[in-house]
């Protein structure tokens, strides 16, 4: 009897220990990754590094154009993705009937968009934006002169916008759902129309949710590289992009290029670590802000 | 017509609409047409269809670019091909002396006939084709007599290419380009299996710990931390694998090739862990608490309950988690590009370099000529990836969800 | 008896295929307080929400029969629901002020009706708050958030907000059920004052409350209107056994 109980307890102990170990291994890997990147990059993390152009064939100097390009990318991307995402979320929560085929198909489409590999977005950006829309614009407006039918920051940003659209939709939808039904009813009972209710009651109440969605989308967009590999990211540019039809440098692509295609990988290792640290800090601080905003929304819902 | 009339009526009604006056009795019988509501609703509805439209557009445009490869018989093809060729082909170093001999200006016609006549017997086609190639080759020869490109003979290439699709060699840039997808498929599968073997047990066990054993405080520590892993851009994971992990694992396992499917698989596992963890954890916590309590009340220990009650009840969810994990690994590009060595090898040794489907697109798309065979094949690979992830998502969505529902709501 | 304000005739309401209201015919007089009582789930709230077509928001609801407001069928296809809801205001069970200032809460209704004149709005806000007996408590903090008010104050604010749109009928869905006794009595006083200018239909769980404030009482049970009469009659000498059982507390 005693032995049996001991055996059972031991088994339980081992099993529970195994699950705990799994969790700890994951966390340990994460911590190691963070520590290695921080140690590797911390010496590079200076104002000079952040604010100057690469020099000496990208073996020295800073990463300012990549930071600038990333900022431009996420700004243009947000301008495209946030309104579309917000409106889709409004449709799903305010207009669509819960179990209608349309609503279900849209939800399915959104989830599919979220799992399509990012490289496919890159292909789509190339096939649709550059070859179809861009070349079409060139043919119609410029008489075939090549301007839009090639990779540039606009097409890259729009491609990224498609990729981040589901992030925005999901966050905004979650926020819209926290607006109590009673508030919508109160507004309607006062003789407000549906649109007035959405505009004056629902949207103001979900502002922080829209912010969360935007931030998460920006964080995602800043880190993705595959979609912009051939829709606009450039290896090296001596100037900042001046118009939407220019190519641009971007942090993630910079890391990839420096780590795999650079002439002397070892010599530029500090730059690579520095760039990685900057990118990681950027995405983490964005995610952290989003987590806090989201926490506040959830607290509001409970209250 | 009637509809139109009522529309006009509403329009007029709109302009007649008086300003609200608090002393007036409210007339409820005059149905008003409200422009702002009407327009807002129309806009919102049409924008909402946008996500469906994108899926359809992705489908169309990714396929459209891969389609020409199967299209060697189409009549209008040469024209479109030509414009893109003459614009962009010159700089490409994909030299092809063997082809050049065949296509020399004088010998074009007979060579064509020889090759073409075997498969298709359409004389008009042949002639058009012949002229086409002649033009192209002359042009190319005029400008760069030494560097001959393969693009002029796209049709023939396509035919050749399709034949090579199911061979064992992926050598798109060579004298005789071969587009064998099998090594890429094997590479992708290998990576997927390795990363799942690494990620799935870790993630599922960790989820089990958080859902069943962990105290509330531990839970609040573990969940956000693992979700933080999802915030790592894949290029960062790839960089870490390339610079740090590859050497570290090499020291442990002592393999020869620093970048191989094992390193790549582990790195991709890191990307898949948060997905598998989150969905599994969701599935486990959605198992009704009564199951758990009933099992404990029957004298089962915590781990017995976890193992024989919670896990089986959440199986469909865990299955979905693994499926989506597979989808993530299958399409992951940056990690594959940076950590797998990128050599299209066929062996099953995990310590050999591999090249995945997605990485092939990522590595080669920037260097191909728009519209040539290689370009089309890369899009074909993209189409395959798209269909695959679409299918995985559909299965996870419909089949698994249905099962999960059934299971939890009783048989 | 005064004019009939609302008249329903053989009204049925279904949630999908489930019948929730069965053949309701009732006359609600103008400038009176009509109380709807009955056990939970008896359909009284559903009935109330049919009177300003709030049930339209629920997809599965289907309504048959007539509901006439001043002789006009409000389910007719020419009816402008938005105007109807201005005419038939509603106060909800749980006070639901918007997350705006007290002033903006009251001004919300007038604003959506196109009143943007500052002094006009000021007048409406003051008048509505006075009529809802909350002016003295709110006048010094008009621009503070309405969420800072106590539960009872919030509910009176919601009544004031409804008054600001100048409705003819006010529907109240258990307006005092979540409040303490003092707040409840304030609301009850208010309701009695309001009936001079408005027709009031109130759903309540609290039978004493119905007895205190209403002129007429309707007893609902399992989706049917069991008995409808003067409140005094219902409480002293009901016609039906079920009504008597309910009022004497034998069930529900």
Band the pLDDT of B28: cuts 50, 70, 90.
confident
Q: How many domains does chain A have?
A: 1
Instruction: With respect to residue A133, please indicate whether it lies within any of the assigned structural domains.
Output: yes
Q: Which of A22, A224, A291 sits opposite B205 (nearest CB)?
A: A22
Q: What is the pLDDT of residue B158?
A: 67
Mean pLDDT of B326-349: 87
- Reported as type and span, the H/E element at residue C33 is strand C33-37
DSSP one-letter string for C182-229: HHHHHHHHHHHHHTTTSEEEEE-S-HHHHHHH-SEEEEEETTEEEEEE
**Which of the pair, B213 or B160, is modelled with greater confidence?**
B213
- Find residues 157-196 of chain A whose CB sits inside 8 Å of chain B: 162, 165-166, 169, 193-196
Min Cα separation B52/chain C (Å): 24
Task: Check pLDDT > 50 for residue B146.
Answer: no
Taken in order C105, C110, C111, C116, the sign of the CA dihedral is negative
Domain contains A114: yes
Other Cβ atoms within 10 Å of C196 Cβ, number: 7
Question: Across the interface, which of C54, C96, C112 has its CB nearest the CB of A180?
Answer: C96
Q: What is the mean pLDDT of chain B?
A: 75
When pLDDT is averaged across residues B324-328 and rounded to a whole number, the result is 92
Residue B20: per-residue pLDDT:
46
Q: What is the mean pLDDT of residues B281-306?
A: 85
Strand partners, C199: C169
What SS3 state is found at A113?
A: helix
Assigned token pair, A261: 């295609």
Cross-chain Cβ contact C74/B28 below 8 Å:
yes
Residues of C in contact with B6 (CB under 8 A): none
Q: Is C60 helix (H, G, I), strand (E, B) or coil?
A: coil
Q: B115: pLDDT confidence band, cut at 50, 70 and 90?
A: very low
- CA-to-CA distance for C96 and A181, rounded, in angstroms? 10
C84/B28 CB distance under 8 A: yes
pLDDT at B79: 38
Q: What percent of chain B has pLDDT over 70?
A: 70
> Does the residue A16 lie in any domain?
no
For residue B144, count other CB atoms closer than 10 A to its CB: 14
CB contact under 8 A, C108 and A193: no
Which contiguous run of DSSP H or E holds residue A86?
A: helix A64-90
CB atoms within 10 A of CB C186: 19
Pairwise CB contact (< 8 Å): C54 & A205? no
3 state DSSP class of A135:
helix
The answer to whether the Cβ–Cβ distance between B31 and C115 falls below 8 Å is no
A20 part of a folded domain: no
| Average pLDDT for B204-228 | 90
**pLDDT at A203 > cutoff 60:** yes
CA B310 to chain centre: 33
Which residues of chain A have a Cβ shorter than 8 Å from any chain C Cβ?
Answer: 97-98, 180, 182-193, 196, 200-201, 204-205
Which residues lie below 8 Å from residue A142, measured CB to CB, with a gap of 6+? A148
Domain range for A172 is 66-302
A193-196, Cβ contacts within 8 angstroms, sequence gap of 24 or more: A193/B34, A193/B36, A193/B37, A193/C82, A193/C112, A194/A94, A194/B37, A194/B41, A195/B34, A195/B36, A195/B37, A195/B40, A195/B41, A196/B36, A196/B37, A196/C112
- Flag if A189 and C112 touch (Cβ within 8 Å): no
Phi, then psi, of B344 in degrees rounded to 5: -80, 80
Give CA–CA dist A156/B331, Å, rounded: 19
Cβ–Cβ gap C86/A190 under 8 Å: yes
Could you give the CA distance from residue A55 to residue A65 in angstroms, rounded to a whole number?
12
| Cross-strand partners of B133 | none
**Rounded distance between C-alpha atoms, residue A181 and residue A189, angstroms:** 12
In DSSP terms, A233 is beta-bridged to A248
**CB nearest to B334's CB, from A127, A256, A273:** A256
C73 to chain B: nearest residue by CA? Answer: B29
At residue A3, φ and ψ (nearest 5 deg) are: -60, -45
The pLDDT tens digits for B363-392 are 888 888 877 888 888 999 999 999 999 999
Query: Residue B379: its chain A contacts at CB < 8 A?
Result: 123, 127
Residue pointed to by tokens 């919508």: A184
Q: Rounded mean pLDDT of C7-21? A: 90
Going by their DSSP bridges, the two strands C169-173 and C88-91 should be labelled as parallel
Q: What is the DSSP string of A145-183?
A: -SSSSS--HHHHHHHHHHHHHHHHHHHHHHHHHTS-HHH
pLDDT > 80? residue B106: no
In a domain, A187, yes or no: yes
Provide the token pair at A284. 């983490």
Is C68 an 8 Å CB contact of chain B?
no
Give, in order, the Cα–Cα distances in Å from B354 to each of A66, B187, B195, B246, B357. 30, 5, 14, 14, 10
pLDDT of amino acid A134: 93
Q: What does pLDDT average to over chain A?
A: 90
Residue A12 contacts residue B302 (beta carbons within 8 Å): yes
Phi, psi of B116 (to 5 degrees): -80, -40
pLDDT at position A90, please?
A: 94
Question: Which one, of A282, A291, A298, A233, lies nearest residue A45 by Cα?
Answer: A282
Yes or no, beta carbons of A205 and C99 under 8 Å apart: yes
For residue B351, what pLDDT is reported? 87
ipTM confidence score: 0.91
Distance, CA of C108 to CA of A178 (rounded, Å): 21
Whether A34 is in a domain gets the answer no
- What whole-number distance in Å separates Cα of residue A230 and Cα of residue B367? 9
With cut-offs at 50, 70 and 90, classify the pLDDT of residue B126: very low
- 3-class secondary-structure state, position B170: strand
Q: Which of A213-222, B361-370, C79-88 has the lowest mean pLDDT?
A: B361-370
Within chain C, residue ranges assigned H as helices are 44-50, 81-87, 102-112, 118-131, 135-138, 151-164, 181-194, 207-213, 231-236, 241-247
Distances (CA, A) of A241 to A24, A68, A254, B15, B347: 44, 9, 15, 49, 45
The CATH number that domain B182-409 falls under is: 1.10.3720.10
At B7 the pLDDT is 64
Cβ distance A155 to A125 under 8 Å?
yes
Residue carrying structure tokens 């009340």: B297
In the predicted model, is pLDDT for residue B98 greater than 70? no
Provide the pLDDT for residue A197.
Answer: 94
Nearest to B29 among C72, C82, C168 (CB): C72
| Residue A180 with chain C: CB contacts under 8 Å | 96
Length of chain B: 411
Q: What is the pLDDT of residue B407?
A: 65
Using one digit for the tens of pLDDT, what is the confidence trace for A61-83? Answer: 889 999 999 999 999 999 999 99
* Residue B138 confidence (pLDDT) above 70: no
DSSP H or E segment with residue A104: helix A101-115
Helical axes B315-331 vs B401-408, angle rounded to 10°: 160
Q: What average pLDDT does the segment B116-129 reach?
A: 36
- Res C171: pLDDT: 94
- Please, are residues C36 and C47 in contact by the beta-carbon 8 Å criterion? yes
Closest Cα of chain C to A183: distance in Å?
A: 6
Chain C residue numbers touching A204 (CB-CB < 8 A): 99
The whole-number pLDDT of residue A72 equals: 95
- CA–CA distance from B322 to each of B188, B315, B407, C105 (Å)? 16, 10, 18, 50
Smallest CA-to-CA distance from A274 within A92, A16, A19, A46 is with: A46
DSSP summary character for residue A52: S
Best mutation target, C76, C131, C166, to test chain B (most B CBs within 10 A): C166
* CA dist., res. B115 & res. B110, Å (int): 9
Tell me the CATH number at A93. Answer: 1.10.3720.10
- Binning pLDDT at 50, 70 and 90, where does residue B410 land? low
**Mean pLDDT to the nearest integer, B163-176:** 75
Q: Which residues pair with C200 in a beta bridge?
A: C33, C170
Nearest CA in chain A to C111: A192
pLDDT tens, residue by residue, A248-294? 999 999 999 999 887 787 888 889 999 999 999 999 999 989 888 88
More confident residue, B87 or A288: A288
Q: What average pLDDT does the segment A26-34 reach? A: 94
pLDDT band of residue B170 (cuts 50, 70, 90) is confident
Stretch A236-252: mean pLDDT:
90
Interchain CB contacts (distance < 8 Å): A and C: 61
Residues 6 or more apart from C88 whose CB is under 8 A from it?
A: C51, C52, C69, C167, C168, C169, C170, C171
Question: A123 and B62 in contact by Cβ < 8 A?
Answer: yes
Cα B100 to Cα B156: distance, rounded to the nearest angstrom: 13
Cβ count within 10 A of residue A40: 20
Task: Say how far apart CA A177 and CA B349 lie, in whole Å.
Answer: 51
Element (H, E) at C30: none
In the predicted structure, residue A102 carries a pLDDT above the cut 80: yes
Q: Once rounded to an integer, what is the mean pLDDT over residues B324-344?
A: 90
Spacing of C-alpha B374 from chain mean position: 18
- Conformational region of residue C65, where left means phi above 0, alpha means psi within -120 to 50, and beta covers everything else: left
| pTM across the whole model | 0.83
Q: Tell me what pLDDT residue B154 has.
A: 54
Residue C68, token pair as written in the block: 């006439």
pLDDT score for B167: 75
Q: In this complex, do A193 and C82 lie within 8 Å of one another by their Cβ atoms?
A: yes
Instruction: Say if residue B350's pLDDT is above 90.
Output: no
Which sign, positive or negative, has the C-alpha torsion B107, B110, B115, B120? positive
* Interface residue ranges in chain B relative to chain C, Cβ cutoff 8 Å: 19-20, 22, 25-32, 34
The yes-or-no verdict on residue A54 having pLDDT over 70 is yes
The whole-number pLDDT of residue A28 equals 95
For chain B, the domains span: 36-70, 74-179, 182-409
The pLDDT score that the predictor gives to residue B290 is 85
Q: Best of B28, B31, B37 to disrupt the C interface by mutation (most C CBs within 10 Å)? A: B28
> Partners for B (CB, 8 Å, 3+ pairs)?
A, C
Tokens encoding C192: 């009695």
In the sheet with C61-69, reading across from the earlier edge strand, the strands are C72-73, C61-69, C4-15, C18-29, C224-230, C216-221, C33-37, C199-203, C169-173, C88-91
**Cα(C157)–Cα(B74) distance, integer angstroms:** 74
Average pLDDT over residues A183-207: 92
Query: What does the alpha-carbon distance between residue B178 and residue B164 come to, in Å, rounded to a whole number?
Result: 6
């Amino acid at each position: 009897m005693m032995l049996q109980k001991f055996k059972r307890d031991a088994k339980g102990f081992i099993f529970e220990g195994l699950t705990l170990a799994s969790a700890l291994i994951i966390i340990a890997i994460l911590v190691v990754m963070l520590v290695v990147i921080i140690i590797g990059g911390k010496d590079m993390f200076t104002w000079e590094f952040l604010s100057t152009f690469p020099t000496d064939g990208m073996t020295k100097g800073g990463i300012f154009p990549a930071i600038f390009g990333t900022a431009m990318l996420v700004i243009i991307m947000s301008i495209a993705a946030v309104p579309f995402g917000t409106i889709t979320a409004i449709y799903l929560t305010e207009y669509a009937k819960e179990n209608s085929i349309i609503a279900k198909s849209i939800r399915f489409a959104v989830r599919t968009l979220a799992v399509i590999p990012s490289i496919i977005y890159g292909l789509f950006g190339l096939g649709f934006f550059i070859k179809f829309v861009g070349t079409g614009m060139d043919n119609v407006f410029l008489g075939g002169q090549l301007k839009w039918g090639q990779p540039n920051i606009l097409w890259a940003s729009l491609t990224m916008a498609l990729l981040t659209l589901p992030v925005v939709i999901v966050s905004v939808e979650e926020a819209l759902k926290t607006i109590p039904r009673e508030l919508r009813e109160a507004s309607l009972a006062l003789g407000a129309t549906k649109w007035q209710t959405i505009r004056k009651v629902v949207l103001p109440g979900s502002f922080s949710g829209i912010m969360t969605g935007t931030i998460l989308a920006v964080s995602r967009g800043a880190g993705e590289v595959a979609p912009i590999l051939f829709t606009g990211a450039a290896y090296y540019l001596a100037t900042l992009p001046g118009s939407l039809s220019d190519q641009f440098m971007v942090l993630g692509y910079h890391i990839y290029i420096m780590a795999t295609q650079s002439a002397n990988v070892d010599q530029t290792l500090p730059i690579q670590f520095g760039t990685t640290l900057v990118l990681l800090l950027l995405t983490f601080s964005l995610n952290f802000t989003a987590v806090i905003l989201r926490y506040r929304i959830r607290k509001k819902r409970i209250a | 017509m009637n509809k139109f009339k009522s529309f006009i009526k509403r329009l007029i009604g709109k302009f007649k609409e008086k300003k609200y006056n608090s002393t007036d009795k409210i007339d409820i019988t005059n149905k008003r047409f409200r422009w702002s509501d009407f327009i807002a609703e129309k806009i919102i509805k049409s924008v909402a269809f946008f996500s469906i439209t994108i899926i359809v557009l992705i489908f169309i445009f990714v396929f459209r670019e891969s389609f020409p490869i199967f299209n060697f018989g189409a009549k209008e093809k040469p024209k479109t091909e030509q414009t893109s060729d003459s614009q962009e082909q010159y700089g490409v170093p994909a030299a092809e002396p063997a082809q050049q001999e065949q296509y020399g200006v004088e010998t074009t016609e007979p060579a064509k006939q020889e090759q073409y006549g075997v498969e298709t017997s359409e004389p008009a086609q042949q002639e058009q084709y012949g002229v086409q190639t002649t033009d192209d080759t002359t042009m190319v020869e005029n400008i760069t007599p030494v560097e001959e490109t393969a693009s002029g003979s796209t049709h023939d290439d396509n035919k050749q290419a399709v034949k090579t699709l199911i061979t064992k060699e992926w050598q798109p840039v060579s004298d005789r380009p071969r587009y064998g997808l099998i090594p890429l498929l094997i590479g992708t599968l290998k990576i997927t299996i390795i990363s799942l073997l690494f990620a799935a047990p870790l993630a599922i066990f960790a989820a089990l710990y958080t859902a069943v054993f962990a105290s509330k405080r531990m839970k609040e520590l573990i969940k956000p931390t693992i979700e933080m892993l999802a915030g790592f851009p894949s290029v960062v994971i790839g960089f870490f694998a390339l610079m740090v992990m590859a050497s570290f694992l090499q020291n442990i396992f002592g393999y020869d090739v620093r970048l191989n499917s094992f390193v790549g698989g582990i790195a991709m596992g890191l990307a898949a862990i948060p997905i598998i963890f989150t969905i599994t954890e969701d599935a486990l916590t959605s198992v009704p608490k009564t199951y758990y309590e009933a099992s404990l009340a029957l004298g089962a220990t915590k781990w017995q309950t976890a193992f024989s009650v919670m896990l089986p009840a959440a199986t469909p969810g865990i299955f979905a988690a693994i499926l989506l994990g597979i989808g993530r690994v299958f399409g992951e590009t940056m990690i594959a590009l940076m950590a797998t060595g990128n050599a299209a090898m066929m062996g099953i040794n995990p310590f050999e370099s591999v090249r995945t489907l997605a990485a092939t697109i990522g590595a080669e798309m920037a260097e191909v000529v728009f519209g040539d065979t290689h370009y089309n094949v890369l899009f074909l690979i993209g189409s395959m990836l798209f269909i695959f992830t679409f299918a995985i998502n559909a299965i996870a969505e419909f089949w698994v969800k249905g099962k999960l529902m059934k299971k939890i709501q009783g048989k | 008896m005064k004019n009939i304000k609302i008249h329903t005739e053989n009204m049925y309401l279904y949630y999908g295929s489930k019948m929730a209201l069965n053949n309701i015919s009732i006359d609600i007089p103008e400038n009176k307080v009509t109380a709807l009582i009955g056990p939970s789930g008896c359909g009284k709230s559903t009935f109330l929400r049919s009177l300003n077509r709030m049930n339209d928001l629920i997809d599965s609801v289907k309504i048959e029969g007539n509901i006439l407001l001043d002789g006009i069928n409000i389910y007719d296809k020419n009816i402008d629901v938005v105007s109807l809801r201005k005419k038939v205001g509603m106060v909800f069970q749980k006070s639901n002020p918007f997350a705006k200032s007290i002033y903006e809460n009251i001004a919300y209704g007038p604003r959506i009706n196109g009143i943007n004149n500052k002094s006009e709005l000021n007048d409406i806000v003051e008048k509505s708050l006075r009529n809802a007996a909350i002016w003295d408590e709110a006048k010094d903090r008009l621009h503070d958030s309405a969420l800072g008010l106590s539960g009872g104050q919030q509910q009176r604010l919601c009544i004031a907000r409804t008054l600001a749109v100048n409705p003819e009928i006010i529907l109240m869905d258990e307006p005092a059920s979540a409040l303490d006794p003092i707040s409840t009595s304030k609301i009850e006083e208010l309701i009695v004052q309001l009936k001079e200018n408005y027709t009031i239909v109130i759903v309540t769980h609290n039978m004493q409350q119905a007895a205190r404030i209403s002129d007429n009482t309707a007893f609902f049970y399992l989706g049917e209107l069991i008995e409808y009469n003067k409140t005094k009659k219902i409480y002293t000498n009901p016609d039906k056994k079920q009504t008597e059982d309910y009022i004497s507390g034998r069930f529900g």
